[in-house]
Structure 1
């Protein structure tokens, strides 16, 4: 039984008529930039998360840069960020003029901890980027207690729940990507910034529109970074389904936990979290051999961050002088196996059988 790594199409099949209707509504209205669909989605997204403000932007990467700028991050500042994450989490920092400072992670949760963040902080630290990686929920409150603003990179965590609420409403500001493969995906690029701070929200709105509030007077050098009306309308159709889709991801993760226990290293949810797994990432001493065996069985799988960001050529000048052992461990051993809101129980069983039959069954040490 072939099992795809992603299945974004099946959950959307029942929504096709509503999606077409939403697209036609935008076409009929003739408003394509910062119109009523974006305004409505911003209200609905903020309400879903429990955030005071949601501001739509063009993509998740620009969301991070704009959010940092809105926090006052600039030249001479440092921003702490994990190295085991998608490139954009760190790529967004130099565009502000600030310096990325890489911290370690816990390889069992794939998230930063208060201890790993504190070890990377200096008097120049202006903000910390906390990544809710793979849908897990990082300990935002404990990190914010260290005394600097926390930016949640929640691109992979739509639908997840932590002990204090949903990612996107836990720190000072948060960013989302609505790339098509995300838990809540658009039909192209899209992003959002959420915050509890009125002043930060106003600066974000100004920055996303060329640094202007009225298209006549300009108070900042900003960006042309706006969520399209078409994408907002598409997201509005899907948002009511997000909790159901998230629960399906939770249940698939629970079934994996039972089926794969003792066969591979399993991702560990942070205390009190219910991750809506965007990716289900296991660990194994020989992940390349495991990948080859699963691929031969028709089970799609992939490593994501085999080379951490601080080892990538454009970021080597920012590499820390000390080792990041948790990052090295996660990078060397991780492998993503199939996960989606449409993953069926028999598909989970097929993946587990393929792992057992690979002849590489060794509990991760």
Structure 2
């Protein structure tokens, strides 16, 4: 899509550094330079104000990535594109059947009401919970990683959604300030909300997480 739009050598393309290294790779393959902008701490998608701040005379495009079942603020991003003459592209997540989304939302609601010691995700309109991403408060990555190990030891699958932001990878290393991206990479953990999970499975997730609640600062 970038090549078809004429994006190439000498151009810059604004992308998120929180996940999706393939987006930066696609920009580089088109001959352009990926420029990283910070994310919104609630949606984990590009923060429009950060995109506008990153736009410069060589900026040709913006690639917005929808994350964890939340949508990027496309209305604001399209507005920025119009003001600066930029191509605005979307990288979407696969759409699940409606009944599957409804079941994930039900399980997310169950966790929202019962989890303690972690910051649960803000639902918002249209959240499909492709991943149920919590934040583990405390001392960032060490506490998050210790929490994940302890939860797995109790038989609950969980995963770190973004282990290393793209701007910290050797091939795309940038000396750039992305505080929300860094914080999200250090604190986030994805818990299961698959439609196949039984009530007993959900109870096990809550019990495993809440058993560790006393080791953490209370969620604000």
Q: TM-score, normalised by structure 2?
A: 0.88
Among residues 9, 21, 35, which one is paired with 1:75 in the alignment? Answer: 9
Q: Which has the larger radius of gyration?
A: 1
Given that 1:85 and 1:131 are in contact with CA atoms closer than 8 Å, whether structure 2 keeps it comes out as no
Alignment match, 1:86: 20
Please show how residues 231-270 of structure 1 align to structure 2 within 5 Å.
242-260=97-115, 262-270=116-124
| Equivalent pair of 2:68/2:129 in contact (CA under 8 Å) | yes
Pick aligned residue for 1:105 from 14, 39, 52:
39
2:156 maps to what in 1? Answer: 299
Alpha-carbon distance in structure 1 between the residues aligned to 2:193 and 2:200: 13
1:349 to 195, 203, 213: 203
For structure 2, the 5+ residue unaligned runs are none
Aligned ranges 1:147-158 → 2 under 5 Å: 147=81, 148-155=86-93, 158=94
The 2-side partners of 1:269 and 1:79 are apart by: 30
The 5 Å alignment of 1:214-229 reads none
The answer to whether the Cα contact below 8 Å between 2:62 and 2:88 also exists between their aligned partners in 1 is yes
User: What SS does the corresponding residue of 2:62 show, helix, strand or coil?
Assistant: strand
Q: Could you tell me how far 1:364 is from its partner in structure 2?
A: 4.1
1:298-348 deviation per Cα after TM superposition (whole angstroms, max 9, x unaligned): 0011113121100000111xx1x4311001100111111113222333322
**Equivalent pair of 2:37/2:47 in contact (CA under 8 Å):** no
| Cα distance in 1, alignment partners of residues 144 and 127 from structure 2 | 23
2:61–2:88 Cα contact (<8 Å) kept? yes
Residue number in structure 2 paired with 1:114: 48
Taking the aligned partners of 2:219 and 2:6, their CA distance within structure 1 comes to 43
- Going from structure 1 to structure 2, the CA distance change for 1:153 and 1:364 (only over 3 Å counts) comes to farther
1:96 match: 30
Equivalent in the alignment of 1:326: 180
Deviating beyond 4 angstroms after TM superposition, the runs of 4 or more aligned structure 1 residues are none
> What does residue 130 of structure 2 align with?
278
Distance in 1, Cα, partners of 2:149 & 2:187: 14
- Number of equivalent positions: 210
Tell me what 1:60 maps to.
none
Kindly state the Cα deviation for residue 145 of structure 1 after the two structures are TM-superposed.
Answer: 0.3
TM-score normalized by structure 1? 0.55
Structure 1 residue 91: deviation in Å? 1.6
* 1:245 aligned counterpart, secondary structure: helix
Offset at 1:360? 2.7
253 and 98 in structure 1: CA distance in 2 versus 1, 3 angstrom threshold? same
Counterpart CA distance in 1 for 2:106 and 2:4 is 37
- 1:265 deviates by 1.4
CA distance in 2, matches of 1:360, 1:108: 24
Whole-angstrom distance in 1 between the partners of 2:28 and 2:144: 33
CA distance in 2, matches of 1:91, 1:253: 33
C-alpha RMSD of the superposition: 1.7
8 Å CA contact retained: 2:69, 2:129: yes
CA 1:362–1:348 in structure 2 vs 1: closer, same or farther (change >3 Å)?
Answer: farther
Q: Given the alignment, which residue of 51, 62, 67 partners 1:133?
A: 67
Q: Is the 8 Å Cα contact of residues 252 and 344 (structure 1) preserved in structure 2?
A: no
